[in-house]
Amino acid sequence: MRKKLIAGNWKMNLNTHQASVLIHRLEENLETHKDVEVVICPSVMSVQPLNLQINKRKMKLGAQDAFYEDEGAYTGQVSAAMLHGVVEYCLVGHSERRHVFGETDDVISKKLAAVVRNRIKPILCVGETSTDRADGETKQVLHDQVIADLRNLTAKEIQELAIAYEPVWAIGTGDYAKPDQVKEATDFIRHNVRELYGPKAEQDLRVLYGGSVKPDNAKSYMDIEGVDGLLVGGASLNYKQFAQIVNSAHESTGN
């Protein structure tokens, strides 16, 4: 049985003091469920102090990004090697990295390999734009991203991988995907992983949905067979909403 995974992406919000206060509030409000793993991805400024603050029985830390080289003349970058021992998870290929910062699948595949090499669990984000969907290209885009992003990894190396299906048009827009759209896309992601690595890899793979998840729609996604978790942006900045989403995951029947 795959453990459910609820990850909060705080994006570029909260200074270190505010981040510390929100973690405190979350620890007061989050119920611990044996079947749900909770991961918070704060700004890189806050990962080190929060690593000392958090109760690791309640939640784990993730980074939002990591560079693909371990060290060197790469001004402004933070490497997966530096994050090793501080975070347990790292987002890779988030749609804002792809579409605001122009990250290509080539860069994303190298980042994924660096994260794995440094023994951090990757959450790879994939998803189509509204134009891709309108053009009937959703499956082609998902297929291309999965194939290209995973190309440097073996079946053994993807054992800890989670893939988040995040349609770009649903992120931060309130225009969330319908459960049947999520079911079709997440089944297709699983199918691609099975084709690449075989049935065991697909069985072990955790697939998440992300895009305008709120307390009132979280359970409808978690009830989908094959959906193991959620990647939550905006609602993860509100401790009451995030705690409700974690409880919905626990109550869900999915996976």
Q: Which residues are known catalytic residues?
A: 94, 166
Q: Can you give the binding site for ligand PEP, defined by CB under 6 A?
A: 9, 11, 166, 171-172, 210-213, 231-234
Query: How many CB atoms neighbour CB 128 within 10 A?
Result: 23
Nearer to ligand PEP, 7 or 113 (CB): 7
Beta carbon of residue 166, minimum distance to ligand PEP (angstroms, whole number): 5
Nearer to ligand PEP, 165 or 197 (CB): 165
Beta carbon of residue 213, minimum distance to ligand PEP (angstroms, whole number): 5
Beta carbon of residue 234, minimum distance to ligand PEP (angstroms, whole number): 3
Beta carbon of residue 203, minimum distance to ligand PEP (angstroms, whole number): 25
Nearer to ligand PEP, 201 or 245 (CB): 245
**Residue least distant from ligand PEP (Cβ):** 233
Nearer to ligand PEP, 116 or 171 (CB): 171
